[in-house]
Amino acid sequence: MTEKVLLNIDGHGHDLNSNRAIRALIVDHFQHHKKQLHEFMSRVCQLYDLRALVSTDSLTISKVDLDQDKGAIMVDYSWSTHYGCDGYSREKVMHERWPFEVRNNNIVFEMHMPELHVHHEL
């Protein structure tokens, strides 16, 4: 069974036909609910490096696309990995597209959670 991240942002009283209004609602929601996204973002980053540590505070929305009742936001966020040898570390920025739908005056994000891979070091 695939896990999902479900975010429901109340849009009552706002113009949900406006990219600007939708962006403002999403930005406000994410600023106050970043912890809801932490595990999702961490799992995405760990697909690239198992030691990746995501910075939820780095999450930004660069673009909103809306076509009637469906849309997507372009997000950027960073992660870093510290390897412990000679202070070697690596930092990367993720650029992703997160789709959403407008349903019953709500902005709804429903995203599949990446599988959690457990690796054992010998």
- The two three-digit tokens of residue 58, written as one number: 């780095």
Tell me the pLDDT tens digit for each residue of 5-51: 889 999 999 998 888 899 999 999 988 888 889 999 999 999 888 88
CA nearest neighbour of 8 among 114, 113, 105: 105
The DSSP symbol for 105 reads: T
**Does residue 120 have a pLDDT over 70?**
no
For 87-107, what is the mean pLDDT? 91
pLDDT for res 122: 46
Tell me: pLDDT of 1 over 60. Answer: no
On whether the pTM is more than 0.95, the answer is no
Tell me the torsion sign for CA atoms 78, 69, 101, 17: positive
